[in-house]
Chains A and B, each alone.
Chain A
């Protein structure tokens, strides 16, 4: 039976509308779940609230339904035209995967269309180019965006997989060799444990999923009356915090939710850091400090006229946090190393800060190294591999041939990350480690 595939058919990144295409036997069921049973009429478009498998609404979208065979691929097809934010797209992908859909391989829609005679054969010549471009484009993108650290990680995985499989296959294929220890596969135990842990860490990396659901948190910290609340209001585009020139006005934490770089962001305005004058303010300061520690990003706000504040705050900020020199209108030309001089009051310099925040949010939450679609597939592949390796671990002692089976499955699902691991690579390893040849 055919799988049901999905893909983002608009360019990944920021766009007003993103189109997600779904093709395969489950397309109809998926629509029913996501629209709470309100599948649009065949070949019709309808506005629907989209929900995940938990029943939580995550977007309002134009939904189209094309039952096969009169569809693009000849199979049952659906299209979701969602709001282009990455968080929405990610949630949609997550929901589709929970419902048993798989990310499409490069060119798979086209290939299905073609196999079901939905594409005029005269167009076929152009197909290869199209698919090649798609594959090549993805590969280049993936390579270009893959950071050195990540590439190193994947190489480590590949290396580890080869040696794990070599231990298992070596025990199976060379049982009668003096140089091959009887329980060779036991040597795979430790590397397997390490590899699985490494994959889990990769999957949980930076609690990305959680942040996408709950929002990226930013804490504004600084001395009283440095202008944190004004900055908050500017970033939020509305008056969320009461702004006065009385120091200590903000006593508890004020949070606003905004969308930056396509992701939900929660900005907290905290009580000014100073010796509190009363118990309420003291509690506020304590909370401000806690929040600052927990936040994903801290923005230190100082009055551009106060060197003291600057020095105090620099001690509380992490290396990759941001520093704002506020009240530029009162201290024209103020500057400090790596700081953003701006005026929360006039708006001068705000756009630079916003751009920087957006970049940080995207870098930490989004695709990180890969475009959304590739990432969804890769994530799925790492999950599959990690599960398979977990099973392999439990079978290692009792049934190495079953462990071998699961390790091979893991290798196949990781091929897009680690490159192909051929049986020759594994045999090479066996022959270079052991003197085979009775």
Chain B
């Protein structure tokens, strides 16, 4: 029987939206099933997109013609390029978003997506046909059949909200959790666990004394996320900055036993980089104050998100400590903060396409895989959606490597090493950070989207125009050079070694700028600002990038050795029991991935390689 759908995406959060859009873009008949249509594209926590590592992910999503970047550009109300004063490899675009604009833009985008149907439905179970996932069943009994299912449950899997002594089963405030789906996953024999995260109280904007606060403005020239966006036209706002006081800390310390986390009610681990205010007060007892950003949730929204003080203390304690914060003496709370605990699946159960190895046809993306963050979720959604679509169409999967994209770094980290706390992207996780920049995400990835036919015509045209100009400019820069005396005449002092230096070589000198170059070659002045910036970045990093290229070649050689699914590590002679167990558990897909598993020695790798080679030889 032919399925109604190629791909069903369950969940309308950031992972689900990106998955549905990607699957549809890849040509698959896609159904998005979610509890409530109104909350599609909801920002449940901090109304912000991007940052270090995260901004890189958004650029990569965009380079693969995903939607998060464009939606952020039409809803961002405080764009700031982080690390502006540092090198281009570590600049991170970030914005606060207007929650309503974001949600509306996302819903409009999906509604207009060809091949995509959206229906409301609370999925309670999955359909399996001989071990392969073939569809979903809603709580009202509706059944949908498909070639593949992408599951993006966020915090809904057995979600439990904690606030003081209160326990409320919920996926988000006032939204029921998914119990049935959790049981289904346990039934598959998957390694699962609990994680926790938290959110602060929401404050009424009009109850804050803004005049008492320092304000942080947006950048004067907002840098968009999407390579398709020319200019940010959304009005930009300021955020307030305040700080906790010793009095705040005193109230929190005195009531610490009422916090859900410290009373021992929560077993799941929370992220170290997103601690609650209770955690901050306890773990950093020597600090007398912590910074708080007061971020308006929208242009015409009376809600403010106080960034930095998530809490699971009881309502009255939250009220009390909030009022000790400068600017918040008379604050009104719109909704109190809470901690939430939810199920996740050990991501080592996944293959590199984010498909469950124990349940083919079922892809997972977002918090269910132990990550945190909208951007991490969306990036996984994109990859899961694409690969589910490709599988339905009988095409090869798309797998990005650590040397190509932050997306590759994240997925490899997840499936190889698992998680012990919600996983967040940092630039320090990327070995090839100088190569994997936000500014060149399109140069790294868009070609793949074009080749595999999931980039739209507008994207293709824009990309090809840009690359055409860039190539021409690079050629111009390569072919124009100066001898040391000529350079000296142009005011550039270099060693008198008789070597000709081209534009890239000259730009690599710290005191040489583009004006000095165009003074020598006036024809280069016609190049666009964007193109010149790329030339300058190429020049800045060239020495390091050349060295990294050699590393990457060696890295890719091991990555190119694929270990087939179902490879029997037990049949490899000469493997120690420890190495065998570790390999069996991690089930690496490439020799390179195997080498990153702790405890797998060079000997074990060679044994595996030998075995693979012999099989190859026997087969031919």
Q: Which of these, A107, A178, A401, A423, contacts B603 with CB under 8 Å?
A: A107
Q: Which of these, B51, B86, B287, B603, contacts A129 with CB under 8 Å?
A: B603
How many chain A residues touch B (CB < 8 A): the figure is 43
Q: By CB atoms of chain A within 10 A, which of B86, B283, B541, B617 has the most?
A: B86
A105 at the interface (CB under 8 A from B): yes
Whether the Cβ atoms of A127 and B272 lie closer than 8 Å is no
Whether the Cβ atoms of B275 and A110 lie closer than 8 Å is no
Whether the Cβ atoms of A172 and B606 lie closer than 8 Å is no
A-chain residues with CB within 8 Å of residue B426 when the two chains form the complex: 169, 173, 423, 427
The residues in B between 570 and 600 inclusive whose CB is less than 8 angstroms from any CB of A are: 573-576
Whether the Cβ atoms of B287 and A128 lie closer than 8 Å is no
B218 at the interface (CB under 8 A from A): no
In Å, the complex CA distance between A106 and B604 comes to 12
Q: A401-B433, A402-B544, A435-B280 are contacts. A135–B53 as well, Cβ < 8 Å?
A: no
In Å, the complex CA distance between A423 and B427 comes to 10
Give chain A's interface secondary structure class. Answer: helix
A150 at the interface (CB under 8 A from B): no
A169 to chain B, nearest CB (A): 4
Whether the Cβ atoms of A128 and B434 lie closer than 8 Å is no
B521 at the interface (CB under 8 A from A): no
B385 at the interface (CB under 8 A from A): no
B-chain residues with CB within 8 Å of residue A172 when the two chains form the complex: 52, 83, 86, 90, 427-428
In Å, the complex CA distance between A436 and B426 comes to 13
A175 at the interface (CB under 8 A from B): yes
Q: A121-B613, A131-B603, A179-B287 are contacts. A401–B273 as well, Cβ < 8 Å?
A: no
In Å, the complex CA distance between A132 and B602 comes to 7
Contact flags B410-446 to A (C-beta < 8 A → 1, else 0):
0000000000000000111101011000000000000
B274 at the interface (CB under 8 A from A): yes
Q: A402-B87, A423-B429 are contacts. A124–B611 as well, Cβ < 8 Å?
A: yes
B-chain residues with CB within 8 Å of residue A126 when the two chains form the complex: 574
Whether the Cβ atoms of B428 and A169 lie closer than 8 Å is yes
Whether the Cβ atoms of B606 and A128 lie closer than 8 Å is yes
A400 at the interface (CB under 8 A from B): yes
A188 at the interface (CB under 8 A from B): no
Whether the Cβ atoms of B274 and A437 lie closer than 8 Å is yes
Whether the Cβ atoms of B606 and A111 lie closer than 8 Å is yes
A67 to chain B, nearest CB (A): 24
> Closest residue to A185 on the B side, CB-wise?
B86
Whether the Cβ atoms of B51 and A176 lie closer than 8 Å is yes
A182 to chain B, nearest CB (A): 9
A-B contact count (CB 8 A): 139
A395 to chain B, nearest CB (A): 10
Q: A106-B602, A179-B287, A438-B308 are contacts. A399–B87 as well, Cβ < 8 Å?
A: yes
B-chain residues with CB within 8 Å of residue A111 when the two chains form the complex: 602, 606, 609
A-chain residues with CB within 8 Å of residue B138 when the two chains form the complex: none
A-chain residues with CB within 8 Å of residue B575 when the two chains form the complex: 128
Contact flags A103-141 to B (C-beta < 8 A → 1, else 0):
001110011001100000100111111111001000000
B-chain residues with CB within 8 Å of residue A402 when the two chains form the complex: 87, 434, 541, 544
Contact flags A395-438 to B (C-beta < 8 A → 1, else 0):
00011111011001000000000000001001100010001111
B30 to chain A, nearest CB (A): 35
Q: A173-B53, A175-B82 are contacts. A132–B283 as well, Cβ < 8 Å?
A: no
The residues in B between 477 and 530 inclusive whose CB is less than 8 angstroms from any CB of A are: 510
Whether the Cβ atoms of A437 and B611 lie closer than 8 Å is no
Whether the Cβ atoms of B606 and A127 lie closer than 8 Å is yes
A174 at the interface (CB under 8 A from B): yes
B-chain residues with CB within 8 Å of residue A400 when the two chains form the complex: 86-87, 90
Contact flags B65-98 to A (C-beta < 8 A → 1, else 0):
0000000000000000011001101101010000
Whether the Cβ atoms of A121 and B614 lie closer than 8 Å is yes
Whether the Cβ atoms of B428 and A128 lie closer than 8 Å is no
In Å, the complex CA distance between A169 and B287 comes to 22
A-chain residues with CB within 8 Å of residue B602 when the two chains form the complex: 105-107, 111, 131, 135
B534 at the interface (CB under 8 A from A): no
Q: Which of these, A115, A127, A179, contacts B574 with CB under 8 Å?
A: A127
Whether the Cβ atoms of B606 and A131 lie closer than 8 Å is yes
A1 to chain B, nearest CB (A): 8
Whether the Cβ atoms of B86 and A401 lie closer than 8 Å is yes
In Å, the complex CA distance between A209 and B609 comes to 40
B567 at the interface (CB under 8 A from A): no
B539 to chain A, nearest CB (A): 13
The residues in A between 132 and 189 inclusive whose CB is less than 8 angstroms from any CB of B are: 132, 135, 169, 172-179
B-chain residues with CB within 8 Å of residue A175 when the two chains form the complex: 52, 82-83, 86, 92
The residues in B between 123 and 137 inclusive whose CB is less than 8 angstroms from any CB of A are: none
B290 at the interface (CB under 8 A from A): yes
Whether the Cβ atoms of A127 and B86 lie closer than 8 Å is no
In Å, the complex CA distance between A404 and B90 comes to 11
Whether the Cβ atoms of B89 and A435 lie closer than 8 Å is no
B607 at the interface (CB under 8 A from A): yes
B431 to chain A, nearest CB (A): 8
In Å, the complex CA distance between A426 and B273 comes to 13
Whether the Cβ atoms of A423 and B428 lie closer than 8 Å is yes
B186 at the interface (CB under 8 A from A): no
Whether the Cβ atoms of A404 and B272 lie closer than 8 Å is no
B602 to chain A, nearest CB (A): 6
> Closest residue to A117 on the B side, CB-wise?
B613
Whether the Cβ atoms of A132 and B614 lie closer than 8 Å is no
B3 at the interface (CB under 8 A from A): no
B291 at the interface (CB under 8 A from A): yes
In Å, the complex CA distance between A132 and B578 comes to 13
In Å, the complex CA distance between A131 and B601 comes to 9
A-chain residues with CB within 8 Å of residue B243 when the two chains form the complex: 178
In Å, the complex CA distance between A130 and B604 comes to 11
B307 at the interface (CB under 8 A from A): yes
A-chain residues with CB within 8 Å of residue B284 when the two chains form the complex: 179, 435
Whether the Cβ atoms of A426 and B428 lie closer than 8 Å is yes
Whether the Cβ atoms of B291 and A125 lie closer than 8 Å is no
A184 to chain B, nearest CB (A): 12
In Å, the complex CA distance between A178 and B290 comes to 7
A423 to chain B, nearest CB (A): 5
B-chain residues with CB within 8 Å of residue A129 when the two chains form the complex: 574, 603
Whether the Cβ atoms of B614 and A124 lie closer than 8 Å is yes
B293 at the interface (CB under 8 A from A): yes
Whether the Cβ atoms of B601 and A135 lie closer than 8 Å is yes
Q: A172-B427, A174-B52, A426-B428 are contacts. A401–B606 as well, Cβ < 8 Å?
A: no
A-chain residues with CB within 8 Å of residue B283 when the two chains form the complex: 435
In Å, the complex CA distance between A172 and B82 comes to 9
In Å, the complex CA distance between A111 and B595 comes to 15
Whether the Cβ atoms of A438 and B307 lie closer than 8 Å is yes
B-chain residues with CB within 8 Å of residue A398 when the two chains form the complex: 510
Whether the Cβ atoms of A401 and B434 lie closer than 8 Å is yes
Whether the Cβ atoms of B53 and A437 lie closer than 8 Å is no
B-chain residues with CB within 8 Å of residue A121 when the two chains form the complex: 610, 613-614, 617
A-chain residues with CB within 8 Å of residue B544 when the two chains form the complex: 402, 405
Q: Which of these, B53, B287, B510, B576, contacts A435 with CB under 8 Å?
A: B287
In Å, the complex CA distance between A338 and B540 comes to 64
Whether the Cβ atoms of B604 and A128 lie closer than 8 Å is yes
A sample of 12 cross-chain residue pairs with beta-carbon separation below 8 angstroms, ordered by A number, consists of A124-B613, A127-B603, A128-B574, A132-B576, A169-B428, A175-B52, A175-B82, A176-B82, A400-B90, A401-B86, A402-B87, A427-B428
> Besides the contacts A106-B602, A131-B602, A131-B606, what 9 more A-B pairs have beta carbons closer than 8 Å?
A107-B603, A111-B609, A172-B86, A179-B284, A179-B287, A399-B86, A405-B434, A435-B280, A436-B273
Interface residues of B (CB under 8 A from A): 51-53, 82-83, 86-87, 89-90, 92, 94, 243, 272-275, 279-280, 283-284, 287, 290-291, 293, 307-308, 426-429, 431, 433-434, 510, 541, 544, 573-576, 601-604, 606-607, 609-611, 613-614, 617
Interface residues of A (CB under 8 A from B): 105-107, 110-111, 114-115, 121, 124-132, 135, 169, 172-179, 398-402, 404-405, 408, 423, 426-427, 431, 435-438
Q: Which 9 A-B pairs have the closest CB atoms?
A: A178-B291, A128-B574, A124-B610, A128-B607, A132-B603, A125-B573, A131-B603, A169-B428, A431-B272
